[in-house]
């Protein structure tokens, strides 16, 4: 499989490009508006046919590049989970759905808790966890329908039950890690390793994090698939 991890330094966001090198069918996960020019160019250089534009959730820290990407790849379909509240998406995914590109597929795992519509995408050997599971951390649960009890269940019952050697590719990292594994996170994630649900909830309810800088512009724009003109109206 052709695989590229891409990084937005300003928001520490990871975007992922996956493709079947034979059929050239490709998917992109969590694109960033400011990086669309870079990503469009790369997709064209790699001679790929962008089939799906996926989101792991409605982001609060950056605006998706979905609408801009569709200008260059008008046949690409946007996919967001049915509980994300993103009416403009071409396809609303549900738990267990398989998103096919060439001979590969990504399986939708509903992993709510950071937001209610959060999903992870799984294919053999890799899981893209968005802001549910981060490397040695996890997404915050103090806005956007955040719920630490749900997040604990999502991580422990959906992600931690994948094979131990599955590589974990998160939506963000702030320390320079690019990936982890299910084994590592089960063993070393300080919020989850050997923690009961009650202990996890206590940790999450006492993080006292600052309010995200871009939430006021990001969430309305992402609910409109990153179409800034519509979200301004």
Tokens matching residue 162: 């994948």
Measured CA to CA, the distance from residue 111 to residue 130 in angstroms comes to 9
Least distance (Å) from a second copy to the CB of residue 219? 23
Of residues 188 and 198, the one with the C-beta less far from a second copy:
188
Of residues 187 and 213, the one with the C-beta less far from a second copy:
187
Of residues 96 and 176, the one with the C-beta less far from a second copy:
176
Of residues 71 and 175, the one with the C-beta less far from a second copy:
175
Least distance (Å) from a second copy to the CB of residue 5? 5
| 4 CB-side CA count, 13 A | 17
Mention every residue, 6+ apart, whose C-beta is less than 8 A from residue 155.
Answer: 111, 113, 132, 133, 138, 192
Least distance (Å) from a second copy to the CB of residue 6? 5
Binding residues vs a second copy (CB under 8 A): 4-9, 35, 38, 42, 45-46, 175-179, 184, 187-188
Least distance (Å) from a second copy to the CB of residue 183? 9
Least distance (Å) from a second copy to the CB of residue 46? 7
How many Cβ atoms from other residues are within 10 Å of residue 90's Cβ?
14
Please tell me whether residue 72 adopts helix, strand or coil conformation.
helix
Of residues 12 and 49, the one with the C-beta less far from a second copy:
12
Q: Would you say 2 and 18 are in contact if contact means Cβ atoms under 8 Å apart?
A: yes
Measured CA to CA, the distance from residue 19 to residue 137 in angstroms comes to 28
Measured CA to CA, the distance from residue 73 to residue 151 in angstroms comes to 34
Measured CA to CA, the distance from residue 206 to residue 78 in angstroms comes to 35
Least distance (Å) from a second copy to the CB of residue 104? 17
Of residues 118 and 126, the one with the C-beta less far from a second copy:
126
Residue 36 has φ and ψ, to the nearest 5°, of -60, -40
């Amino acid at each position: 499989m052709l695989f590229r991890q891409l990084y937005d330094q300003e928001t520490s966001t990871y975007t992922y490009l996956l493709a079947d090198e034979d059929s050239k069918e490709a998917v992109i996960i969590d694109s960033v508006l400011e990086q669309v020019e870079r990503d469009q160019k790369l997709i064209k250089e790699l001679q790929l046919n962008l089939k799906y534009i996926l989101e792991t959730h409605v982001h609060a820290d950056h605006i998706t590049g979905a609408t801009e990407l569709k200008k260059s790849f008008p046949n690409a379909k946007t996919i967001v989970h049915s509980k994300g509240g993103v009416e403009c998406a071409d396809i609303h995914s549900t738990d267990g759905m398989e998103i096919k590109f060439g001979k590969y597929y990504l399986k939708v795992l509903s992993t709510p808790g950071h937001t209610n519509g959060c999903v992870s995408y799984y294919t053999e050997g890799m899981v893209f966890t968005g802001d549910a599971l981060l490397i040695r951390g996890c997404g915050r649960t103090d806005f956007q329908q955040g719920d630490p009890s749900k997040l604990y269940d999502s991580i422990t019952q959906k992600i931690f039950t994948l094979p131990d050697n599955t590589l974990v590719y998160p939506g963000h990292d702030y320390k320079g890690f690019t990936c982890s594994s299910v084994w590592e996170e089960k063993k070393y994630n300080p919020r989850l390793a050997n923690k009961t649900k009650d202990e996890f909830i206590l940790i999450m309810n006492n993080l006292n994090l600052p309010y995200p800088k871009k939430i006021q512009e990001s969430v309305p724009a992402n609910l409109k698939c990153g179409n800034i003109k519509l979200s301004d109206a």
